[in-house]
Homo-oligomer: A and B are copies of this chain.
Amino acid sequence: MPTFELGPNQYGKAETRLVHVERGAGGDRLTDLNVSIALRGDLAASHLTGDNAAVLPTDTQKNTVYAFAREFGIAGSEAFAIRLAEHFVAAQPSIHEARVTIQRYPWIEIDGRHSFQRAGGEVRTVTVHHGHHGTQVVSGVSGLVLLKTTDSEFHGYLKDRYTTLPETRDRVLATSVDATWRTASGFTDPEPARAALIEAFADTYSHALQQTLFAMGSRVLERCPDVVEVKLSLPNRHHFLVDLEPFGLDNPNEVYFAADRPYGLIEGVVRRDGVTIPQEVTWTF
């Protein structure tokens, strides 16, 4: 029988749902998180023989999330993710690297006391990689849906035998922003980055969603001196002008069909010039 080799591997508890309430005289503070952990290290025995002596159970990881929320509070997703990642590596010699990803669901205060309304689809994200390479923090936003009703063109593109798309000088442009950004070290307040994304989407006269992407990434770099790199994944949520001519009607950019699938998907990185970007730790499977 041939022998086989264990390649890259990781394990952890995914999607631990933690809601933390900081009680205060001036009203409660609510933090609503979805925490996912992945660990790497001396895990070969567990795979090869089922010997779990080096395995910290995922159940324990979940417990740690809840206990740390009480022991240390939650000063922010970034700090909480860093604390967790550092803990697993420091506490267990068999664990060499940790990745902690947190999704944060925003809530809106209703009465300034103890009532809240969930803000909706937009989610704030952070991923921390910690290990022998140091600590990397990548913050972001996901599901931020933006639309502009004009100031978007698309023409001058390649044509081949399979091209039927008419050029347009005025279209609706809509996307659901999935963005992440990193600093050279540490992390920075995500609010200015988020605001820059929205602002650049709105005020960029667009000849391509690619152009809008670069403008959005550049705006973040302009506004956030600590940020050295921005990644954007922008689905082009097509809004097709409906042909009303069969009904004897014109359609002066007024009535649109919002399509589900297929959709364009534009993805890119915008970087600060002359800054060395650390090699990204990708643990994607």
Q: Is A276 an interface residue (CB 8 A)?
A: no
Would B7 and A270 count as touching, CB distance under 8 A? yes
Cβ contacts A to B, 6 pairs, < 8 Å: A14-B235, A21-B254, A50-B211, A57-B165, A60-B162, A161-B247
Residues of chain B lying within 8 A (CB to CB) of residue A62: 262
Determine if A185 is an interface residue (Cβ-Cβ < 8 Å): no
Chain B residues closer than 8 Å to A260, beta-carbon distance: 17, 260-261
With A13-B262, A52-B155, A55-B157: A21-B270 Cβ-Cβ less than 8 Å: no
Chain A, interface residues (CB within 8 Å), range: 35 or more
A116 touches B146 (CB 8 A): yes
Q: Give Cα A114 to B202, complex, Å.
A: 8
Q: Which residues of A contact B (CB under 8 A)?
A: 1-23, 28, 30, 32, 36, 38, 43, 46-60, 62-64, 66-67, 69-71, 91-92, 94, 107, 110-111, 114-122, 144-151, 153-165, 172, 178, 198, 201-203, 206-208, 210-211, 213-214, 217-218, 221-222, 229, 231-233, 235-236, 239, 242, 244, 246-273, 277, 282, 284-285
How close is A103's CB to chain B, nearest CB, in angstroms?
12
- Across the two chains, which residue of chain B brings its CB closest to A122? B120
Q: Do residues B2 and A246 form an inter-chain contact, with CB atoms below 8 A?
A: no
Q: Are B256 and A19 in contact (CB under 8 A)?
A: yes
Contact B253 A149 (CB under 8 A): no
- The residue from B10, B30, B208 contacting A52, defined by CB atoms under 8 A apart: B208
Residues of B within 8 A of A257 (CB): 17-19, 66
For residue A239, which residue of chain B has the nearest CB? B19
The count of identical subunits is 4
Q: Which residues of B contact A247 (CB under 8 A)?
A: 63, 67, 161-162
Question: How long is the Cα–Cα vector from A223 to B164 in the complex, in angstroms?
Answer: 46
Task: Collect the chain B residues with CB atoms within 8 Å of residue A284's CB.
Answer: 282, 284
Does the CB pair B57–A157 fall under 8 Å?
yes
Q: Is there contact, CB below 8 Å, between B111 and A256? A: no
Once bound together, how far apart are the Cα atoms of A122 and B118, in whole Å?
A: 9
In whole angstroms, how far apart are the Cα atoms of A103 and B4 in the complex? Answer: 29
- Could you say which of B9, B30, B235 contacts A269, with CB atoms under 8 Å apart? B9
Residues of chain B within 8 A (CB-CB) of A268 are: 6-10, 47
